[in-house]
Structure 1
Amino acid sequence: MKTWTAIVAAFTSIFFSSFCWSLDAPPPLEEGEGYVFVVIHTPWKSIKSVSLHSVDFFGDSEVIEDLEYGENIRLIKLKEGKYSYSKIKLDNRYYIKFDESDFTVDVSAGSINYGGHFFIYSPSYTRFRFQYVNRISAVLDELESCCEDLLEQYDLRYRGRYPDPFMEFYESERNKVEMR
């Protein structure tokens, strides 16, 4: 059964550009920690890593490595606080550093936090453009299709730059359907 699940997951990731990480249970949260659903789109495989750093001076950071061309999805755990994409390592010598980033996510303890899909565009090796897009409904679809038990355990929250009432609307509509 586990082999069949792995084959279905591989098929889904290849043909639908999605990634299901339900086969490996995420590490359990400790007091004051929350999950962050990270989606990074890269223009080529040579991007080595992307760093998320706490905006607090002595805060945590997470380096996201092993990025492939296209969509990269990770579920990471971080301490509660505000984090910002701060550095993109292109190779062993070159990197892009953001002094003040508009690409932030607020991590709330005991929940799945999502700040946006982080797109890296590059027409050449010396020119880059970045975009941070809210696609919370796509994240919800992904989690419902592969990790419903995780959604039952933790609330999914959009914690990006601007408020988004979609999750409140979704919950109220879901409760109406369940009451029928």
Structure 2
Amino acid sequence: MGIIVPVLTLVFLLLATVSHAASKPREILVGGSVGSWKVPDCPNNTLNHWAESNRFKVGDILVWKYDVKVDSVLQVTKEDYESCNTAKPLKQYNDRETKFELEKSGAYFFISGAPGNCAKGEKVTIVVLSERKPGGDNNYPKVSPVSPPATTPAPAAAHNAATGLNVGSGLTFLTAVAIGLAMA
């Protein structure tokens, strides 16, 4: 019986740490290094290649570091991104260290404000993953259920029981382990 309190305390601390780490916003340097916001050195090394290799979440903060004497950052529409139109940006930044919070899922489009730089490849599309809603709809398309086959084979052994666990199911699992240890 004396082991219950230490085990439950450990479970609580573990879950609090996991929950805190998952909720903390990340600051992400655009391009991965200082000075990346520039005309690319070669067409195969664009900021979009960098962006495609990263996963962006709601709440992340993008950070651009650049020389304000020669450049700026413009958030634009998709159409202005594709045509490199700098005339009507949604937002304009010229502050040496621009910080932009990703407030919702979807695509964001950024181009350089320096004349001609966008046409030379100084632009980036950031795609933010949609948030998962625990137990919610998640806005997935509705699918009609399919009738099962006449004979259903026996289920395969669950060799990977951890697949699909989230913090909530992890809590259930850890609580069960704690209770099992306490009763042992």
Q: TM-score, structure 1 length as denominator?
A: 0.29
The structure with more strand, counted as a fraction of residues: 1
Higher RCO by CA contacts (8 Å cutoff, separation 6 or greater): 2
Q: TM-score, structure 2 length as denominator?
A: 0.28
